[in-house]
Amino acid sequence: MGRPDMLLIPAIDLKDGQCVRLRQGNMDDVTVFSDDPVEVARRWIKAGARRLHLVDLDGAKAGEPMNLAAIQAITEAAGDIPVQVGGGIRDEDAVVACLEAGVQYVILGTKVINEPHLLADLCIEFPRHILVGLDVRDGKVAVDGWSKLSQHDLLDLAQHFERDGAEAFIYTDIHRDGMMQGVNVEGTRELAEAVAVPVFASGGISSIDDIRRLAQIQDSGVAGAVIGRALYEGALDLAEAQAVVDEVQSQS
């Protein structure tokens, strides 16, 4: 069997039912890109997206999913295209609500760092549906909406979560998120080499060169990338980027 295709995953951030983007997670630095996130989802699928990444920003603030109606409308529009969602998913009820809305993967963050047994319990209850978002600044994992740095070393924590049953990790370099400054290739590679489960890069992806650099480290376990602002501002064309990834993979 060959290696699975590397996925380029468009991000759709939901706030007040709209599609927005933040800079460095700052809820006060919001750009509204569309008041119709379902249409945005259809656009990315038409461009060739093989998965979609949703973030419930209101949910992240409230501590529970707040945009379930929009999420379900997107999963219905997506059809067979898998959808992953994060933001406010902090207990079993929230996981169930997202899965019932048609989501394939749910992303947990702060809660599983603060409550170590939660991840293992959820992975037993919902096998192959639980991803973990690792938001990192200077080698430490940030919590509580990036407002605090935990004392946990990234690689130690990731290996612990892998043993608990995490299906994959989404690695975000906080310094770069939404800033169009380029992806942290070395940080992504280091994490991917430390675990056996897939790792998705996130934060700062701004050009086709970033995509090419990530594609060249697929063998490290980098399974894809979540892309936001670069797509919305036209700095990156999804179909072109996926073609680059597929070409690099075919040559390796």
Element at 227 (helix H, strand E): strand 222-227
Give the span between the Cα atoms of 123 and 69, in whole angstroms.
25
Paired with 227 in beta bridges are: 10
Bridge partners of 7? Answer: 224
The neighbouring-strand residues paired with 201 are: 171, 225
- Our answer to whether residue 13 is catalytic in this structure is yes
The residue from 135, 164, 177, 210 that is catalytic is 135
What are the phi and psi torsion angles at 86 (to 5°)?
-135, 165
- Tell me the C-alpha distance between 125 and 164, whole Å: 12
Name the nearest CA neighbour of 214 among 1, 52, 8, 4: 8
Please pick, among 13, 56, 164, 210, the residue that the annotation labels catalytic: 13
Q: What sign results for the dihedral spanned by CA atoms 5, 7, 8, 9?
A: positive
Q: How far apart are CA 178 and CA 202, in angstroms?
A: 10
For residue 39, what are the CA distances in angstroms to 73, 75, 111, 216, 233? 10, 12, 31, 32, 16
Question: Rounded CA gap, 209 and 75, in Å?
Answer: 31
In the annotation, is 80 catalytic? no
**Whole-number Å distance between alpha carbons of 65 and 46:** 27
Just list the catalytic residues. 13, 135
